[in-house]
């Protein structure tokens, strides 16, 4: 019996599935922030029903979550009516007005148990939706300064996939999460899969990081060679950076540490990787200029 409740199957054009889960792989809520951002900015004209995100399916939380780890939440509205919200996973279909391919967006809390079954159910749905590419999003804490660009790395789960899609081969070894299980399932099914990870400053992880979310959105744009709406992310990213700068002024040791990180980052800016990053920024600018002229 399927543990995924199907609500509707919208008409989507060669959809790309983008997946993010809160928890272990979501430092600064950057990865889930991308899904929330795309859901809100790709909606288009709110008066047009066909432009709104379609809730394709929900995963039965009873079978995959430990509610003592991820507890349900109680909310009280203005009429003092209480409602209970359970942790879970939702799958949305979203039209992309700026490109030739639409999106299937997966958002939720990382499951607590039965990961192989969960990944299998999700990939069954991907097959039904004729998804040929799955992009998982993650964010991790790292030794990187908040005053510089947030690094984003792209990797493939198999050397053949990495070479064909122009990304690095994942060399990570160690504890992992549900995203790696999904990637492994993609390899076994012959579905192309890429992982994009943003590095979030470990000393600034107490609040959501719109700067890291923006970096992942830009990473998606660069990999897919499309434009995605920026919305308020650039302004929110600047405010986040300013607030972190004010926070660290209260601790001279952290200030010195950040200077060391900045010097290390700046010293590497003449490297080949930095040249590639500059090229990506130029390409991104030209795509937006071309789209603006077409409009």
Domains in the chain (CATH in brackets) are 4-294 (3.40.50.10900)
What's the pTM value of the predicted model, to 2 decimals? 0.87
Does residue 134 contact residue 120 with C-beta atoms inside 8 Å?
no
Distance CA 233, CA 213 (A): 8
**H or E, element range at 57:** strand 54-59
Query: Which residue, chain included where needed, has tokens 């986040």?
Result: 240
Average pLDDT, the chain: 88
| pLDDT tens column, 63-81 | 899 999 889 999 998 899 9
Check the CA dihedral 83-86-90-96 and report its sign. positive
CA angle 184, 31, 266 (to 5 degrees): 105
Residues 36, 57: Cα–Cα separation, whole Å? 16
| 69: its two tokens | 């780890």
At residue 173, the pLDDT reads 86
* pLDDT score of 294 more than 70: no
The residue among 136, 137, 1, 8 whose CA lies nearest residue 63 is 1
The predicted-structure confidence for 252-275, as pLDDT tens digits, reads as follows 899 999 999 998 888 876 555 555
């Amino acid at each position: 019996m399927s543990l995924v409740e199907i609500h509707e199957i919208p008409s989507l054009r060669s959809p790309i599935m983008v997946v993010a889960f809160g928890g272990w792989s979501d430092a600064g809520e950057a990865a889930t922030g991308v899904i929330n951002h795309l859901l809100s900015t790709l909606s288009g004209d709110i008066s047009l029903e066909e432009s709104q995100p379609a809730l394709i399916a929900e995963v039965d939380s009873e079978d995959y979550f430990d509610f003592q780890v991820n507890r349900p939440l109680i909310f009280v509205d203005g009429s003092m009516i209480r409602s209970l919200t359970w942790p879970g996973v939702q799958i949305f279909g979203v039209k992309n007005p700026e490109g030739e391919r639409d999106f299937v967006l997966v958002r939720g809390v990382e499951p607590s148990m039965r990961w192989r079954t969960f990944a299998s159910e999700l990939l069954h749905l991907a097959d039904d939706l004729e998804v040929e590419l799955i992009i998982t999003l993650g964010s991790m804490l790292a030794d990187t300064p908040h005053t510089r660009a947030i690094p984003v790395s792209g990797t493939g789960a198999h050397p053949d996939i990495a070479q064909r899609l122009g990304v690095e081969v994942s060399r990570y070894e160690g504890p992992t999460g549900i995203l790696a299980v999904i990637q492994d399932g993609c390899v076994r099914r012959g579905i192309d899969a890429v992982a994009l990870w943003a590095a979030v400053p470990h000393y600034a992880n107490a609040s959501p990081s719109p700067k890291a979310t923006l970096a992942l959105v830009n990473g998606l744009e660069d990999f897919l060679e499309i434009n995605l709406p920026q919305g308020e992310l650039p302004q929110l990213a600047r405010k986040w950076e300013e607030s972190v700068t004010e926070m660290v002024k209260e601790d001279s040791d952290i200030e010195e540490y950040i200077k060391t990180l900045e010097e290390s980052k700046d010293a590497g800016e003449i490297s080949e990787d930095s040249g590639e990053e500059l090229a990506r920024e130029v390409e991104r600018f030209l795509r937006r200029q071309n789209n603006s002229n077409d409009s």
